[in-house]
Amino acid sequence: MNTLAQAKLRAGAMHLGISLVIFLIIVPFIYFAWYPQPYFSAAGGWHGIKIVAAVDLVLGPVLTLIIFNPSKSRKAFIVDYSFIITCQIAALIWGVYAVHSQRPIVVAYSDGIFQAVTADAFEEQDSETLTFNQLSTLHPPLVYSREPENSDEKKGIVMFGFVGGIAKHELAYLYASLPKNMDKLLERREVKIKLLRQDNSASKKLDILLENQNLQIEDIVAIEFVGRYGDAWMILSNSGELIDVI
Distances in Å between the alpha carbon of 104 and those of 6, 15, 141, 221?
45, 32, 9, 23
pLDDT at position 148 is: 95
For the stretch 214-224, pLDDT in tens is 999 999 999 99
Distances in Å between the alpha carbon of 204 and those of 33, 196, 210, 232, 238?
30, 10, 10, 14, 21
Q: Residue range 101-107: average pLDDT? A: 92
pLDDT tier, 185 (very low <50, low <70, confident <90, very high otherwise): very high
Q: Is 77 exposed, middle or buried (0-12, 13-18, 19+ CB in 10 A)?
A: middle
In this structure, the number of other CB atoms found within 10 A of the CB of residue 118 comes to: 19
Burial 36-50 (b: 16+ CB within 10 A, else e): beebbebbbbeebbe
**With 60 as the cut, is the pLDDT of residue 203 above it?**
yes
Instruction: Tell me the percentage of the chain whose pLDDT exceeds 70.
Output: 97
**With 90 as the cut, is the pLDDT of residue 198 above it?**
yes
SS3 state at 45: helix
Give percent helix, percent strand, percent coil of the chain, each to the nearest 5: 60, 15, 25
CB 209 within 8 A of CB 238: no
Between helix 189-197 and helix 200-213 the angle, nearest 10°, is 120
| Predicted TM-score (pTM) of this structure | 0.84
**With 90 as the cut, is the pLDDT of residue 181 above it?**
yes
pLDDT at position 127 is: 52
